[in-house]
Structure 1
Amino acid sequence: MIFDLQSGETPKEITGDVCVVGTGPAGVTLALELARKGRSVVLLEGGGEAYEESSQALYEGAVIGHGHIDVAASRLRQFGGTSGHWTGLCAPLDALDFETRADIPHHGWPITRADLDPFYARAHPYLDLGPYRYDWEDWRSIVPFPALPLDPTKILTDVYQQSPPTRFAEKFMETVRADPKIACWTHANLVDVTLADGGDVVTSVAVRTLDGRATTVKAKTYVIACGGIENARILLNARKQRPAGLGNEHDLVGRFYTDHMTIETSMLLFRDDVDTRLYPTSLKYDGAEILMGLKVHPDVVKARNLNNNSAFLVADYGDAVYSDDFRNYGWVAFSTMLKTFSRGHVPDRFAERTCDVVDDLGSVATGVYRHALRRVLPEKPAQAFRLRQDAEQAPNPDSRVTLTADTDPFGLQRIALDWRVTNEDLLRLRRTHQFIGEQVGAAGLGRLQLGVSDPPDPDIAYSGYHHMGTTRMHADPRQGVVDADCRVHSTKNLYMAGSSVFTTGGCANPTLTITALAIRLAEHLAVSA
């Protein structure tokens, strides 16, 4: 059921077995899984059922570190959360991402990839993905195009799957509305967390609307699932009983902020007779839309002190008709609206997106024209490929979310994001590209033009808007905010869900892992809550 805290009589108290704060992929998945197991869930959403400027403004904050990032527009404060504008690319984290590495401090989770595998498989239907298969060997006999003939002990063909992308509001809002075990309250902003006097048990959370209504939620267990930035902000603002912030006894909340460095650089130039048809575009086979990239073998990654990385090949056709240089904000708005209308829905932020299209009409017109020409012109093989990646960063405690003196309408302090892009991260990417080029050359396939300089230029790195790591998971409370079950170490019944618990970011987009962790958490809470 869905209720609006801004409409009708305000309840004095709302109760349930589990209170989940946030309706993005983590929160909605968790609520649905718990409801199926018979638990009553209070699901809180600070925004409305659709986009609202007044609610979205609560996400405003400062950027004080590396630029090329945003803290407000990159997130959505509405039912479905940021799934309302994610791009849909999915892959599980690699086994390497969970391992402790002697060459990279703070690397490693208290769980393994094998621990998550069954939950990754269960996450696939939530995201409208195909079969849970990410090994190229599982697709080789199905896909008619060959992989590049590179030494598999050095370079792997990496497989990703493409979600439509799934919009959780479109797919699950009516399911939540019809579920008697879920009481979802919109415009219900979490403003405080109360512990039992002198204790470590959360007894209630305070909720308010922007128009001044207030109530209290009481449950046996509480889960904060508001994203990699907001999760930290909520804990840091909860200082009424914990002066440093809830869970922040070791000054870890907000630290280890990590993102994917979105970088498109370096150029692979292949011989004319090399078959590259597997790589430039996504392919649809066996109920899945898949996209392939090149990945350095994990043994080589460790031996050469590299970060994990998957490089996609972006075709450079040498002909403007085949160029995608029109894909900026206007085209993204236009294509998003077109896809949403094709599914029978009205796009969220319709007026804003229409303004983006009108403001950038030249690029939109160019895109439409080129797509039309591509349908009638013969397919042209690419001459070269740029390497595009969401490159991993090593865990860095100095990369962090902190509070500023500015406050929002509820009196909560806003955030400052100090995203650190280090020279070492960029130099590791440079060495990764060099190694790929060496292997392409050794196989006689072509050569690489290296695009990462030494010393590196940090301006080549843009945010992937994958906010991770700010309430990181670790078995030791002096090194992490939550334990292997996502429980805040210093409490008995408060949990964090979403990408804030990531210990490393790997090079996979985080939504599949977020959803898998939510299902895993639901299994735990169904027994313990």
Structure 2
Amino acid sequence: MLRNFALLDAKNASIESDLCVIGAGAAGIAIARAFVGTRTRVAVIESGGLGVDRVAQSLNVGANLGLPYYDLAQARERRFGGTTMRWSGRCAPLDPIDFATRPWVPHSGWPIGPEVLDPYYRRAQDVLDVGEYRYDASLWQDIGLEPDGFDPATFAVRFWRIRARRFGHAFRQDLADAANVTVYLNGTVVSLAPDHDANSIRHVVVQSICGREVIVTARHFVLATGGIENARLLLASDEVERAGIGNGRDLVGRFFMEHPKCRVARIETPDPHGLLERWRKQFPRGMPKLWPALVPTAAVQERHGILNSSLAFYYRSAVGMSAAALRARPPGPAAIARSMAEIPANLVRRYVRRRSVVFAPQALHLLARGEQAPDRNSRVVLSNDRDALGQRRADLDWRLGEIDKRSARVLTELAATEFARLRLGRIMPAAWLSDGSPDGWPLPRPGDATQDHHDHLQGGNHHIGTTRMATDPSRGVTDADARVFGKANLFVAGSSVFPTSGWANPTLTIVALALRLADHLKARLP
């Protein structure tokens, strides 16, 4: 059932459950659904409501201390369904190399292998409703296209499956009808209280904005509040345990990773529209949307000492530019006429339907989405500022290193070689790739109306690695079962447990890990 925490009977000073899941995003909902119909009593605590709430969102406010990043108040959503309520639905699994310990990538290696997650990936496909568990180059045949012939020893073709399933809509009724699951909306967990021996969590304290406070007891607890808030909750428990729960080795909040993305090259090609149509979103009938990308093979990554990243193809269209940018650099009538003449009639119809009008000439470019190398100095830290509930806020110090930039440069050089060999066109690398700075990235230019959002460094709103899993507490915060080291009944769900990020968007792996954790908890909660 769904209940509003703020409207609970004043006599209810406590809530008892077998399992308490903190957060109702992709991970929290996946775990709760796995228990529907069982004899386990599940309490799900969600800070927001069914829709976006300005006051709940204000709890996300924090400062960006490192590289420019998104406004932290808007980079995640406190609501039932979490950030899936506004995501693109882009899904892909991690590659086998992402789980491996790579000598050229410090702090790499998972305590589990890809074979452990494989059956859960297949189950996650159903939860996300993204079709068959297949992401490789064989999908070219399914959509009726021939591959472009990129050297398979250099590049592997991977596909994203794209279907924006909103968990808050798709699974709301499932949980509302469940007799053994109660979702408490508009209640924020403000503290974790360890048992007298400090080896387990006794209860959590939940508050509403209006000042209501309730204690929730359970046999097991799962933090599923996202990569920033999971770390903040553990760090903010420093009044209970020195330095915070699970932070005896100063690892909570560290190793924050994103998927840095940026334009890396312009493509000069005689057939820009043909190339774009092949490598942009595909819409085969009866299948989820598919979007191909080029990914360096494991052998190439090892040979060049680079990260697992991807390349995709983009146009910069006139309609994609801001009004100020168009005024500053409008396409002339002759350029518009030439562009229209080059576009086949079927493409014109397709893009008119999408309300795109005309592409600027020679605006095709390569966009790199990078794996970020784990860096302990890239981190979430506690602020001295406090939110409306009196809790210390989370600030973000996002950092990138030499290997991150070098990987983007090498990836672009490999693409240039392949384009020349296949006579697809000429790759013109962006100047920032070779500007002499080992870790310099193009940053936003305040006040420049002509810049496109792909002109400068961005992330994907993916908050990864801040409670990483490891084989022992000297290397991470959680073990292979996502249990916080030193706590018998506290677990973490979400991308914060990823030791490395890979190139793929994290949600499919988040759900797969959540389903695995649910199975583990079922064994502990007979």
Q: Which residue of 1 aligns with 2:212?
A: 213
Q: CA deviation at 1:235?
A: 0.2
Flag the 1:378–1:145 CA change in 2: closer, same or farther, 3 A.
farther
Measure the CA separation in 1 of the matches of 2:181 and 2:42. Answer: 5
5 Å matches for 1:176-195? 176-195=175-194
Say if 2:351 and 2:357, in contact at 8 Å, map to a contact too: no
Alignment of 1:83-94 (within 5 A): 83-94=84-95
Question: Relative to 1, partners in 2 of residues 1:326 and 1:167: Cα closer, same or farther, differing over 3 Å?
Answer: farther
Distance 2:386 2:356 in 1: 56
Q: Indicate whether 1:420 and 2:399 are aligned.
A: yes
Inter-partner Cα distance in structure 2 for 1:48 and 1:54:
11
Contact kept? 1:148, 1:275, Cα under 8 Å? no
SS at the partner of 2:221?
strand
Residue of structure 2 equivalent to 1:300: 300
How do residues 98-177 of structure 1 correspond to structure 2 at under 5 angstroms? 98-137=99-138, 139-163=139-163, 165-177=164-176
Query: Is the CA contact (8 Å cut-off) linking 1:296 and 1:436 kept in structure 2?
Result: no
**1:393-447, Cα deviation, whole Å (9 max, x unpaired):** 1000000001111112222111110000224311221111111111222333332
Which segment is superposed worse, 100-109 or 69-78? 69-78
Cα distance in 2 for partners of 1:376, 1:104 equals 44
Partner in structure 2 of residue 512 of structure 1: 508
CA distance in 2, matches of 1:6, 1:187: 7
Contact 1:154–1:297 (CA under 8 A) maintained in structure 2? yes
CA drift at 1:374: 5.7
Look up the match of 1:2: 2
Task: Choose 148-157 or 375-384, whichever is displaced more.
Answer: 375-384
> Equivalent residue for 1:347?
none
34-43 vs 271-280, greater mean Cα deviation: 271-280
Look up the match of 1:450.
429
Distance 1:109 1:37, change over 3 A: farther
Change over 3 Å in CA distance of 1:57–1:479 after alignment to 2: same
Q: Note if contact 1:21-1:190 (Cα within 8 Å) is conserved in structure 2.
A: yes
Check if 1:47 corresponds to 2:48. Answer: yes
1:408/1:176 Cα in 2 relative to 1: closer, same or farther (>3 Å)? same
Which of the numbers 382, 388, 399 marks the counterpart of 1:403? 382
Q: Find 2:321's aligned residue among 322, 325, 337.
A: 325
Please name the residue that 1:35 is paired with.
Answer: 36
- The separation in 2 between residues aligned to 1:446 and 1:124, in whole angstroms, is 37
- Measured in 2, the distance between the counterparts of 1:386 and 1:130 equals 30
User: Cα gap change, 1:94/1:376 in structure 2, threshold over 3 Å: closer, same or farther?
Assistant: closer
Aligned pair count reads 483
Instruction: Report the alpha carbon displacement of residue 75 of structure 1 after superposing the two structures with TM.
Output: 0.8
- Which secondary structure state, in structure 1, belongs to the residue aligned with residue 56 of structure 2? helix
Give the letter aligned to residue 375 of structure 2: N
Aligned-partner Cα distance in 2 for 1:291–1:75: 24
Q: Secondary structure at the match of 1:147?
A: coil
1:63 is paired with a residue of what secondary structure?
A: coil
Give the alignment partner of residue 521 of structure 1, picking from 512, 517, 523: 517
State the AA in 2 paired with 1:471. T
Partner-residue secondary structure (3-state), 1:461? coil
Structure 1 contact 65–420 (Cα < 8 Å) conserved: yes
Q: Which runs of 5+ in 1 are unaligned?
A: 329-368
With 33-42 and 266-275 compared, the bigger mean Cα shift is at 266-275
Cα distance, 1:377–1:87 mapped onto 2, change above 3 Å: closer
The aligned counterpart of 1:350 is: none
Aligned partners of 2:517 and 2:357: how far apart in 1? Answer: 51
2:465 is aligned to 469
Q: Retained in 1: the 8 A contact 2:264–2:408? A: no
Q: Deviations over 1:178-201 (max 9, x none)?
A: 111101111111111111113311
Q: TM-score, normalised by structure 1?
A: 0.86
In structure 2, the CA distance between the partners of 1:370 and 1:423, relative to structure 1 (3 Å rule), is farther
The match for 2:481 among 466, 485, 494 is 485
Secondary structure, aligned partner of 1:106: coil
Deviations 1:136-186 (A, max 9, x none): 12x2332211121121111122111001x1111111112211111101111
How far apart are the structure 2 equivalents of 1:488 and 1:190? 18
Would you say the 8 A contact 1:270–1:384 is kept in 2? no
Q: Give, in angstroms, the shift of residue 263 of structure 1.
A: 1.1
Q: Distance in 1 between matches of 2:53 and 2:457?
A: 31
Structure 2 CA distance, aligned partners of 1:4 and 1:375? 40
User: Given that residues 368 and 408 in structure 2 are in contact (C-alpha distance below 8 angstroms), is that contact kept between their aligned partners in structure 1?
Assistant: no
- Provide the residue aligned with 1:201 in structure 2: 200
Higher mean Cα deviation, 13-22 or 166-175? 166-175
Q: Distance in 1 between matches of 2:461 and 2:225?
A: 14
Residue 372 (structure 1) shift: 7.0
5+ unaligned residues in a row in structure 2: which ranges? 325-347, 444-455
Aligned to 2:65: 64
Q: Is the 8 A contact 2:15 2:215 kept in 1?
A: yes
Would you say the 8 A contact 1:162–1:289 is kept in 2? yes
Q: 1:274 offset after TM fit, Å?
A: 10
8 Å CA contact 1:315, 1:382 repeated in 2: no
Contact 1:274 1:445 in 2 (8 A): no
Aligned to 1:439: 418
Question: C-alpha distance in 2, partners of 1:65/1:381?
Answer: 34
How big is the shift at 1:268? 2.9
Partners of 2:89 and 2:351 lie apart in 1 by 24
Conserved 8 A contact 2:37-2:178: no
In the TM superposition, what are the counterparts of 1:196-275 in structure 2 within 5 Å?
A: 196-272=195-271
- Structure 1 CA distance, aligned partners of 2:415 and 2:37? 47
Contact 1:142 1:285 in 2 (8 A): no
* Kept in 2: contact 1:232–1:471 (CA 8 A): yes
Q: Which digits, 9 at most, give the CA deviation of each residue in 1:10-60, with x for residues without a partner?
A: 312111111000000000010010224442210001111211111111111
Identify if the C-alpha distance between structure 1 residues 285 and 36 changes in structure 2 by more than 3 Å, giving closer, same or farther: farther
TM-aligned CA distance change 1:100 to 1:191, over 3 Å: same
Corresponding residue of 2:22: 21
**Which digits, 9 at most, give the CA deviation of each residue in 1:495-525, with x for residues without a partner?**
0000111111111111111111101100111
Change (3 A) 1:378 1:398: closer
Q: Distance in 2 between matches of 1:273 and 1:290?
A: 20
Match of 1:60, as an amino acid?
V
Q: Secondary structure, in 3 states, of the residue corresponding to 1:462?
A: coil
Contact map agreement 2:158 2:295 (CA 8 A) in 1:
yes
The aligned residue for residue 408 of structure 2 is 429
2: CA distance, partners of 1:297 / 1:221: 41
Superposed displacement of residue 301, structure 1: 0.9
CA contact (8 A) 1:256 1:469 kept: yes
Which piece of structure 1 moves more, 458-467 or 492-501? 458-467
Deviations, residues 451-497 of structure 1 (Å, cap 9, x unaligned): 14223542231121101110001111111000111000110000000
Q: Secondary structure at the match of 2:264?
A: strand
Q: Which residue of 2 aligns with 1:353?
A: none
- State, as a whole percentage, how many aligned pairs show the same letter: 34
Would you say the 8 A contact 2:19–2:219 is kept in 1?
A: yes
SS in 2 for 1:217: strand
Following TM superposition, by how much is the alpha carbon of 1:271 offset from its aligned partner in structure 2, in angstroms? 4.7
Secondary structure in 2 matching 1:146: coil
CA 1:247 to 1:57, structure 2 compared with 1: closer, same or farther past 3 Å?
A: same
- Secondary structure at the aligned position of 2:20 is classed as strand
Q: Give CA-to-partner distance per residue, 1:55-94, whole Å, 9 cap, x none.
A: 1111111111001322110111111111121111110111
